[in-house]
A = this chain, B = another copy of it.
């Protein structure tokens, strides 16, 4: 077993050929991907398989879902420490309004927030919209 297979197995995800390909591809991306992105790249594979692959990945703490406001979910590989049903990706997400790419700024944590009395926080999601460094060239 190679490194990816070992990793997937450690997440209780059976390392099938398709899953290995998808994971390797995801790991190389610098920005989050949509299901359609996957569909375009893996044109030989069925959309349903990709759908269930990314769902399995999400459920097992391998990727996290990002909602950048565009309505279509995007996915990116998790940082370490994410587990089944328990994600720890409290970092900021940047969505570029020009190139429509969404990226994880894993070095930028979501600031602490105060809430009114009685509210209990489970999770947070901060999306910053603007121009990414590539697009912000004047």
Contact = CB atoms under 8 A, between A and B. Distances in A.
B126 A97 contact: no
Interface of A: 67, 69, 71, 73, 92, 94, 97, 105, 107-108, 110-133, 136
Contact of A108 (B94, B107, B114, B136): B114
A122 B105 contact: no
A130 B126 contact: no
The oligomer's copy count stands at 2
A128 B121 contact: yes
B120 A131 contact: yes
A120 B97 CA distance: 10
Contacts of A132: 118-119
B111 A111 contact: yes
A114 B111 CA distance: 10
A90 B133 CA distance: 23
Nearest to A135: B120
B133 A119 contact: yes
B119 A131 contact: yes
B128 A113 contact: yes
A136 B113 contact: no
A136 B120 contact: yes
A111 B124 CA distance: 13
Contacts of A131: 119-120, 122
